[in-house]
């Protein structure tokens, strides 16, 4: 299983990617390769079995930001394997497939409840209402064409989506951030890697 994690952070990325690395290494035996978004090579990344798009402090609603990620957005459209977009990565999926990203008037940070709307293997073994970690001030405006609406919260509609033909998932929250009391995020990550294995 060859997995590439695209690092979208532009500062303090060692700490934030370190959390993602630690969690993933506790779930799968194959340690993923980490690639900075500036170094994305479309041809090489198409050889990987799955992609994970990390969070970021960048603002996709700010003029000029999308231009910095245009190579990655192009790759997202062409990649046929499983993709998991996390927070900013979820928003990149929104841009890539026809939605917009809007800035909120507040920042969400901490554990929040969300409601699952559809049964899906990404949420296998979880109840209809789960607790996950949010850390963002922007959201995907609407569910993209050709995508299924998987989850919402009381604060905004598009908490999770899935492409209706490809195993492409976006989650507005951070599944890698969990604790012993709020552990649903870890289950979601494990389920994603199970989806990857099934497709191999």
Compute, in degrees rounded to 10, the torsion defined by CA atoms 29, 77, 66, 37.
Answer: 30
* Position with higher pLDDT, 112 vs 1: 112
Range with top average pLDDT, 24-28, 29-33, 47-51, 124-128: 124-128
Q: Determine which one of 134, 138, 159, 176 is catalytic.
A: 176
Q: In angstroms, rounded to a whole number, what is the distance separating the alpha carbons of residues 192 and 128?
A: 18
Question: CA distances (Å), 127 to each of 119, 152, 198, in order?
Answer: 10, 14, 23
Catalytic residue flag (residue 87):
yes
Q: In angstroms, rounded to a whole number, what is the distance separating the alpha carbons of residues 108 and 117?
A: 21
Q: In angstroms, rounded to a whole number, what is the distance separating the alpha carbons of residues 54 and 32?
A: 13
Q: Report how many domains make up the chain.
A: 1
CATH of the domain at 18: 3.40.50.880
Catalytic residue flag (residue 47):
no
Q: Determine which one of 90, 136, 174, 184 is catalytic.
A: 174
| pLDDT 10s digits, 136-170 | 999 999 999 999 999 999 999 999 999 999 999 99
pLDDT at 43: 66
| pLDDT 10s digits, 79-100 | 989 999 999 999 999 999 999 9
pLDDT at 200: 60
Q: In angstroms, rounded to a whole number, what is the distance separating the alpha carbons of residues 41 and 21?
A: 21
DSSP-derived letter for residue 9 is -
Domain that holds residue 188: 3-199
Q: Determine which one of 30, 87, 119, 163 is catalytic.
A: 87
Res. 104: pLDDT tops 90 = yes
Q: Which two tokens mark 150?
A: 């998987």
Catalytic residue flag (residue 176):
yes
pLDDT at 198: 84
The answer to whether 161 touches 87, Cβ cutoff 8 Å, is no
Compute, in degrees rounded to 10, the torsion defined by CA atoms 170, 173, 174, 175.
Answer: -70
Confidence of residue 47 (pLDDT cuts 50, 70, 90): confident
Alpha helices (H) along the chain: 13-25, 42-45, 65-68, 70-78, 88-96, 184-199
């Amino acid at each position: 299983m060859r997995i590439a994690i695209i690092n979208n952070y532009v500062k303090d990325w060692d700490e934030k990617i370190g959390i993602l690395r630690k969690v993933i290494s506790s779930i799968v035996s194959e340690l993923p390769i980490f690639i900075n978004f500036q170094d994305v090579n479309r041809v090489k990344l198409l050889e990987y079995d799955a992609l994970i798009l990390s969070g970021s402090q960048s603002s996709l609603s700010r003029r000029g930001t999308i231009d910095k990620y245009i190579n990655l957005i192009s790759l997202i459209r062409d990649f046929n394997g499983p993709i998991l977009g996390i927070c900013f990565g979820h928003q990149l999926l929104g841009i890539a497939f026809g939605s917009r990203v809007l800035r909120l008037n507040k920042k969400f940070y901490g554990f929040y409840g969300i409601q699952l709307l559809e049964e899906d293997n990404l949420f296998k073994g979880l109840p209809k209402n789960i607790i996950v970690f949010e850390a963002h001030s922007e959201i995907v405006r609407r569910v993209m064409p050709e995508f299924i609406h998987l989850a919402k919260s009381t604060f905004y509609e598009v908490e999770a989506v899935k492409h209706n033909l490809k195993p492409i998932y976006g989650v507005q929250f951070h599944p890698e951030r969990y604790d012993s009391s709020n552990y649903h995020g870890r289950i979601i990550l494990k389920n994603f890697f199970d989806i990857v294995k099934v497709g191999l």
